[in-house]
Amino acid sequence: MTLSINCKDAGDPVCTHTMYGETEEEVLKNAKEHGIKEHGYTEESWNEILSKNLEHFKKIIKQV
C-alpha cells in the first residue's frame, strides 16, 4: 500500500510537492527530508512542528 502527504495540505500555501511512502513513518520521514531540504527547517524545528501537528499530519495522509 502506498501512502502520500501533500505539502499544501500540510499547511504550506504555495508548495504542492507530494511525498510518498509505504508506511506512515516513511511518509513522515520523507516529509521531514523535504521540509529540511526545500523549506529550510532544521531537525529541531521540524521535530517541534511534528510534535505540535502530528494528528493533523496523520489525518491528511492518503492512500494512493
List, for residues 2-40, the tens digit of each pLDDT value.
999 999 999 999 999 999 999 999 999 999 999 999 999
Has residue 1 got a pLDDT over 90?
no
Query: Where are the alpha helices (H) located in 4-42, listed in sequence order?
Result: 7-10, 24-39
Torsion, Cα of 58, 22, 4, 28 (10° steps): 50
Task: Tell me what pLDDT residue 18 has.
Answer: 98
- Residues 5, 59: contact at Cβ < 8 Å? no
Task: Tell me what pLDDT residue 53 has.
Answer: 94
Torsion, Cα of 48, 18, 64, 11 (10° steps): 50
